[in-house]
A and B are shown apart, each in its own frame.
Chain A
């Protein structure tokens, strides 16, 4: 791997994965906080939880994809 600008860009893009991790943690943490306040409503909202996590996760995957593109396709 003789580094060039694309590799640096790939590394920078990988930061996005960490940002997505923050987002997913936020979703899950807030869900848990709400669920502990009102456990009876938690079961009905798990689908919403997963949709929320999926949306947050998708953006991290986009960052990861950009990183991969820079690594292998550019």
Chain B
């Protein structure tokens, strides 16, 4: 009575739908299982070899390529960065040298100007000093002359006041002698 639901009742299945012996050893079913297994394997093989495996291989290869490319790009960028740093260092060194050069030039110019000014000032000072010397000498000469005159006059007055007779020549001689002493 269970036949319409359990299907084949025969050497392998009893009327209750239970297995007689091991279902694995029911030879009636072998052709069916083998047939469908072969169909399944062929389908799976076709699906895998035509669609799935090439696609997955392509994905993996693409990913590998992307990673390799990215690594190469990173390497490139790193090289560029190193290059840029070198250029920067070079520019810095150049700028420093230029600055040094300009500074030393300016220093030399200033030194030259300074030397010039000092020389001029020295010359001026020397001229002034010579002039002053001359003026001093003149004044000194003038002063001696005046002293001699004053001394002669004073001596003449003194001699006269004492009652003597002033001999102009004798006084002049005496004053000169004293002045030389």
List of B residues within 8 angstroms of A68 by Cβ? 22
**1/0 contact trace for A42-68 toward B, CB 8 Å?**
000000000000000000000000001
**1/0 contact trace for B15-31 toward A, CB 8 Å?**
00001011001000000
Q: State the majority secondary structure of interface residues on A.
A: helix
The smallest beta-carbon distance between B43 and chain A, in angstroms, is: 28
Closest A residue by C-beta to B23: A72
Give Cα A73 to B19, complex, Å.
11
Give Cα A68 to B22, complex, Å.
8
A69 CB–B CB distance under 8 Å: yes
The smallest beta-carbon distance between B125 and chain A, in angstroms, is: 95
List of B residues within 8 angstroms of A72 by Cβ? 19, 21-22
Give Cα A60 to B22, complex, Å.
18
List of A residues within 8 angstroms of B19 by Cβ? 72
Q: Which residues of B contact A (CB under 8 A)?
A: 19, 21-22, 25
Q: Which residues of A contact B (CB under 8 A)?
A: 68-69, 72-73
